Amino acid sequence: MISVYVYRNGETQKTDRVDPKWLDPASGVTFWVDIVQPTHEEGQAILGGTFHFHPLSIEDALSEIHHPKIEPYDRYLYVILHGIDFKPGEHRFATRDVDFFLGENYLVTVHDGGSRSINKIKELCYQHAHILEEGPVALLHRIVDSMIDNYAPELEEIEEQMDQLEDEAILGAGDNLMRPILSIKRDLSALRRVVIPQRDVVGRLARREFPQISNEMAYRFRDVYDHLVRYSDEATMFQDRVTGILEGYLSAISNRLNRVMKVLTVVSTIVLPMTVLTGLWGMNVPLPHFAGAEGLQFWWVVGIMAAITVVMLAAFRWKRWI
């Protein structure tokens, strides 16, 4: 599906086709072409046949997910950025790549239709003419800024989950925390794989390496770059923190196991001499008898075992083993 937003004569109109005359900057037209889930034939027709983009950039735009990058061509700037798509019920980060073709008086976006930021800007674009009036670079900034803003609430949710897991892991209040801890660790790894290269892409826009970016737009992209730097630093810090939570959880499990093993060891050590005594006097061979009646011999054995138990517990306590 193709949506075309055209700004001319002080108003924005929506259509489904591109007039080749608009490609001339002298036409006085600023337009945005949004292409959603194009087939290979549709993509070649609009990107290659109408705009005459380079075949390599067309191939990337029609392919599956690529890493964020920016590539300058003769007549346009090709940018790939990722919008975050966090699914709370699944505990994982998914990203949707959006391809941008930035020309002198146009912007072309290619995506799968799941971009929240583009859907939001499309609703505003038709209602407010100034969005396209500012030019395609300003439109690119609006979309990118909205995409980056979506990272903040997801990072906050990750931090809340980490706080809860940290309390449960360190205080020993939770069991079976390995899966949620590893899920968050995987989320943060996926986040870093996207944020760090995306930070570098926006950084190049902020440094005004390309003639399409004016000083004013560079300042705007610099603000977006600052957000990405903070998010990348937080992702690194969170990854170190979740590693500490995992180590603390494993240490708590080990300590709990050591306490159980200590109790079992004390019990088995105390029972061992009792087993020897009962086995010894249960043998069918002549053994020395204790003084007194036959019935008192049982209590002699019980007394000896009780004495051994007391002595061993006292020795363990003196050694500070228990």
Element (H, E) at 92: strand 92-102
Q: Which of 85-99, 131-145, 209-223, 224-238 comes out lowest in average pLDDT?
A: 85-99
CA distance 150 to 154: 7
- Residue-wise pLDDT for 60-83, tens only, equals 888 876 788 899 998 899 999 988
Compute the distance between CA of residue 94 and CA of residue 126 in angstroms, rounded to an integer: 29
Residue 191 clears pLDDT 50, i.e. is over it: yes
In sequence order, what DSSP letters do the residues of 137-197 get, joined into one string? HHHHHHHHHHHHHTHHHHHHHHHHHHHHHHHHHHTT--S--HHHHHHHHHHHHHHHHHHHH
Half-sphere exposure of 140 (CA within 13 A, CB side): 33
What average pLDDT does this structure show over 244-258?
Answer: 80
Q: Which residues pair with 33 in a beta bridge?
A: 4, 108
> What residue type is assigned to position 95 of the chain?
T
* Range 143-161 average pLDDT: 86
Give the per-residue pLDDT at 289: 58
Question: What are the structural domains, with CATH classification, of the chain?
Answer: 2-253 (3.30.460.20), 268-318 (no CATH)
Q: How many angstroms separate the Cα of 27 from the Cα of each of 101, 105, 211, 313?
A: 19, 9, 20, 97
**Which range, of 98-107, 126-135, 136-145, 208-217, averages the lowest pLDDT?**
126-135
The residue among 71 and 8 whose pLDDT is bigger is: 71
- What does DSSP assign to residue 115? -
Cβ count within 10 A of residue 277: 15
SS3 state of residue 111: strand
Say which DSSP state 292 is in.
S
Quote the radius of gyration of the chain (alpha carbons, Å).
Answer: 35
The pLDDT tens digits of the residues spanning 17-56 come to 888 888 887 888 888 888 888 888 888 888 888 888 999 9
User: Tokens in use for 236?
Assistant: 């690194």
Strands 77-87 and 106-111, bridge-based pairing: unpaired
